[in-house]
Amino acid sequence: MDSPASSLAQKLSREAESVCRHYLPNGRKNGRYWLVGDVQNTPGRSLYVRLTGPSSGPGAAGKWTDAATGEHGDLLDLIAANLNLSTLRDTLDEARRFLSLPRPDPPRHETLPPVPTGSPEAARRLWAISSPITNTLAERYLNQRGIADLQGLPMLRFHPRCYYQLPATAEQLGRQMWPALIAKITDTDGTLTGLHRTWLDPDTATKAPLDPNRKAMGNLLGNAVHMGPPCGVIAAGEGLETMLSLRQVLPRMSVAAALSGNHLAAYQPAAWVQRLYIAVDADKAGRIAANRLRDRASEAGIETIMLRPALGDFNDDLRALGIDRLRNNLSAQLESSDTPERVPERTG
């Protein structure tokens, strides 16, 4: 039986052109597509929405992709992004309003069936109830790490009360709900496979006093937190903050945070990758992981180039040396066509 969201998405797909004309009036129809700059209705041609096709599956009407950011989804996702709706309930209500459908009466005991802890389905549920990071504790945390440019990062969200499972032998801390930075883990097609959670201290906007204060859920092997538009050049590394720091200098390059040394070694670049930069953490485990990924990528015919920080990692460089020193260090290691001054501007 289809979920309410799936059913509404299919109904919207049958009205794809009307949806676009209503929410993206600055765009225009071009053959089977509606073209516009982005989900915020900026004039341009980066985002394209399929207007015809089946109601679901490959080539479905209503599917959209932003070539500049790599974002994609169905018309429910588009409505949520267009109106900055942070909950699934608000998005479904807006879709029903557009389609002139009544709100359903809530069941007396509306509960979701349980799913395995840490599973991809549990990750999808947590993602659905998380919010954009703008003006949140997660934004403050990243700003304190020197990461100021957080534009175009829909793969990062915030949850104010994210459950933390204490070890069975741990003393009761008195708090099992902590604010958390939520990062979406995807495969190379953009499908959510898991989440990475960084629990935060609401008093200091630093990491929470938990051990560990970071955990992944879902399927991480071969996948990563992908940031930026798909292109032939990508940079991959371990930590989320490490790759966000690199992105401060290279905001238009596609980057991937594999989240640990073992998972960096197992990271699977997309078929479209021609050149892979590998951000090497300056410790033994980091060098081993980077070398393993380099060897695998080279065997697959992908050009690989190591990027080495001046200190422990690129977030250390950003915080201790500043963005100009970080830019200069990276520029000396990049191919000339990929240096910060030469990365192509986003279209749209």
Q: How far is CA 190 from CA 13, 70, 313, in A?
A: 20, 8, 26
Token pair, residue 142, equals 């990243």
**Which pLDDT value is given to residue 1?**
43
Residue 334 in contact with residue 326, Cβ under 8 Å? no
**Which pLDDT value is given to residue 342?**
43
Residue 71 in contact with residue 29, Cβ under 8 Å? no
**Which pLDDT value is given to residue 26?**
92
Domain ranges in the chain with CATH number 3.40.1360.10: 225-338
Residue 35 in contact with residue 25, Cβ under 8 Å? no
Sign of CA dihedral 41, 46, 50, 56: negative
Token pair, residue 266, equals 């197992």
pTM for the whole structure: 0.68
Closest Cα to residue 196, out of 177, 176, 209, 181?
181
CA 60, distance to chain mean position in Å, is 23
**Spatial distance between the Cα atoms of 54 and 72, rounded to a whole number of angstroms:** 17
**Which pLDDT value is given to residue 329?**
95
Domain ranges in the chain with CATH number 3.90.580: 4-99
**Spatial distance between the Cα atoms of 130 and 127, rounded to a whole number of angstroms:** 5
**Which pLDDT value is given to residue 174?**
47
Beta bridge partners of 196: 183, 216
The per-residue b/e assignment along 322-344, b for 16 or more CB within 10 angstroms, e otherwise, is ebeebbebbbeebeeebbbeebe
Residue range 4-99 in CATH 3.90.580: yes
Fold designation for 225-338: Dna Topoisomerase Vi A Subunit; Chain: A, domain 2 (3.40.1360)
**Which pLDDT value is given to residue 2?**
59
Q: Which helix (H) or strand (E) holds 161?
A: strand 156-163
- pLDDT < 50 positions in the chain: 1, 107-109, 173-174, 342-348
**Which pLDDT value is given to residue 165?**
82
What DSSP designation does 224 have? B
